[in-house]
Structure 1
Amino acid sequence: MTTESTRLGLPSVEILESYHIWDSYFTPAHSYPGRDGTQRLYADIKTALPAIRKGRFEKLCYFAHVGLGTTTDQELEALLKKQPEVITQPLRRWPDMLFGMIQLNPHDVPASMDALNRWVGEGPMLGVYFSGGGPAALTCTHPNFEPLLERIGELNAVVMQHTWFKTGGKQGRGESTPSELAQVAARFPQQKFICAHAGGEWEKSIRAVRDQPNILVETSGFDATAGFIEMAVRELGAERIVFGSHLPSRSLGTELSKVIACEITEAEKRLILGENYRLLLQSILQSKVEKSQR
């Protein structure tokens, strides 16, 4: 019998559900709530819902702006400071589907420290995202990262670092490469880092982070090419890869097929699509449960 999943070229519903997919890179409206509150973000999440349901995703992580100058929209920055409840409204609207991390601005260490304590330490967020572009971009080897990473470690939080190797070199001074992330990870061996987009040029990137076991690579954001997941499993091990969809700006078929269509075992697919990310978040989730019970 032909089901919707098989008609769309996806595995059966039963197989998709068995993966228990947790998406580490969900980018509705690039996490901009919009000047009218959450409407822009809500609209983009609703746009992504058909793909989320077709893929049988369980959880998705988005990266909230919290009024730290991470955007160039001054009215939006003012809104976030004046109405901070906007930041967590999507989590309350879709509590069983969404969790969040905050975007930090390493140019402003004191304000980022306050945001860490407020939104990660006392609030619902599970980690931080450092951008590769825009006003908040700063190369991850900069000394400003050190006090922030120390505090992030104390909170058992996860770091998602935007990384890219680009032909011709960096297009912005604040961009970070996987090689630079590897330098930082060596100085903070207890901290878990996610190398966003597997550094773009994934063959070079996988080799750059290979010797730092506290770095995991994330799968989204570049065109699907044969051999990516197979090389990552061979060089890093399946336990060091986490799935990201980049929905809704990338397609479900492109990003999910990077994993489900590659030549690895079903056990390895389950690790990549959900198990690794759940394990990565286990410490901070447990910390929040314990705090709520005090």
Structure 2
Amino acid sequence: MSFGLPPAETLRDYRIWDSYFTPAFSHPGTDGSRKLLNDIEKSMTAVHLGHFEKLCYFAHVGIGTTNDPNLENLLQSQPDLVLKPFVRWPDKLLGMIQLNLQNPKGSLQAVNQWIKDGPMLGVYFPGSGPGAANCLDPKAIKLVERVSELGSVIMQHTWLKTGGKRSPNESTPIELATLASRYPKQHFICAHAGGEWEQGIRAVRDTPNVLIETSGFDATAGFIEMATRELGSKRIIFGSHLPSRSMGTELAKVIAAQISEEEKKDILGKNYRKILSVIQSRK
């Protein structure tokens, strides 16, 4: 049964690496892992149907990225809990850590622990919750500089809202482009292309070290075509937002787009493999 997907051989040939896998995104469970592991397990049916090679999720590591102090203390005292998904799915999962920009000292320690000396490949700057701060906030600067020294990757949540921001801690593609222009050798990923993708694409167009990520909004005709035309296929990275979004919807944005098969391969995996290669080579 194909479930409306392309043939398995075609999907395998795309070599899909998912940059935005969100199991138990806001809280891994009171024991530090149960909810997370259950969400990943439930996602595996879709993952196997899509023939995804790799999925990258964003781990909480005990630095105040949830509103649960008991969980934060647990993750700090038992870091092996953070690694449970890697132990269970060692050939499938990649990881980044969620940073707390309101706790730059703890976040800097986490970068060293989990990226320099650990298995993680990048960091996630949230757009909401206790760890969020605007990406241009001075508290973010030392974190950006340390991540850059390690050759790692920054995924920044971005979302443009009708009527403007609901919180000063949110970030827009325009602000991310401003930050990225100060660190031209650092790769930044603009999560969700800002949501309102026409503005988002234009905002980052002239900042070549910013790539856009494709998930988080309904499939809309013209998105990938415009992004490919304005940015080039090598500045677009696929994300599924599983399990909170539909795998078929997110894949269709790329697979059904009027672009070449080679451009689809760039977006669905090749680009992400390339930008992760620097930090992976150091592991």
TM superposition score category, shorter chain reference:
over 0.9
Which residue of structure 1 aligns with residue 224 of structure 2?
229
Distance in 1 (alpha carbons) for counterparts of 2:26 and 2:278: 25
Q: CA deviation at 1:141?
A: 0.5
Q: After superposition, what is the alpha-carbon deviation per residue over 1:236-271, rounded to whole angstroms, capped at 9, x for unaligned?
A: 000000000000000111101000011000000000
1:188 maps to which residue?
Answer: 183
Supply the AA of the counterpart residue of 2:97: I
CA distance in 2 between partners of 1:123 and 1:270 (Å): 29
Q: Which residue of 2 aligns with 1:145?
A: 140
Which whole-Å deviations, capped at 9, do the CAs of 1:123-144 have from their partners, x for residues lacking one? 0000000000001110001111
Structure 2 partner of 1:102:
97
How far 1:31 sits from its partner (Å)? 5.8
Q: Secondary structure at the match of 1:102?
A: strand
| 1:72 matched to 2:57 | no
Which among 12, 22, 25 is matched to residue 30 of structure 1? 25
Aligned length in residues? 283
Aligned to 2:258, what secondary structure does the other structure show? coil
> Partner of 2:258 in structure 1?
263
The answer for the alignment partner of 1:291 in structure 2 is none
The CA deviation at 1:62 is 0.2
1:52 equivalenced with 2:47 (yes/no):
yes
Give the percent of matched residue pairs that are identical in Structure 1 and Structure 2: 62
Question: Which ranges in structure 2 are unaligned for 5 or more consecutive residues?
Answer: none
Would you say the 8 A contact 2:26–2:66 is kept in 1? no
Aligned residues: CA RMSD: 0.8
Name the CA distance, whole Å, in 2 between partners of 1:78 and 1:251.
34
User: Which letter does structure 2 place at the counterpart of 1:215?
Assistant: V
**2:78 alignment partner in structure 1:** 83
1:272 has 2:267 as partner: yes
The one-letter code of the counterpart of 2:196 is: E
Query: Among residues 12, 18, 40, which one is paired with 1:17 in the alignment?
Result: 12
TM-score (norm 1): 0.95
Q: Which residue of 2 aligns with 1:249?
A: 244
Judge which range, 113-122 or 71-80, deviates more. Answer: 71-80
Q: Deviations over 1:54-95 (max 9, x none)?
A: 000000000000111111112211211121110111111100
Q: Is the 8 A contact 2:98 2:125 kept in 1?
A: yes
Q: Which runs of 4+ in 1 moved over 2 A?
A: none
Query: Residues of 2 paired with 1:92 and 1:160: CA distance?
Result: 24
2: CA distance, partners of 1:151 / 1:217: 22
Bigger drift between 104-113 and 62-71 goes to: 104-113
Q: Find the partner of 1:175 among 141, 147, 170.
A: 170
Q: Which residue of 1 aligns with 2:106?
A: 111
- SS across alignment from 2:25: helix
Give the C-alpha shift of residue 53 in structure 1: 0.3
- Classify 1:225/1:179 alpha carbon distance in 2 versus 1 (closer, same or farther; 3 Å): same
Contact in 2 for aligned 1:31/1:41 (Cα 8 Å): no
2:216, 2:79 → 1: CA distance?
A: 29
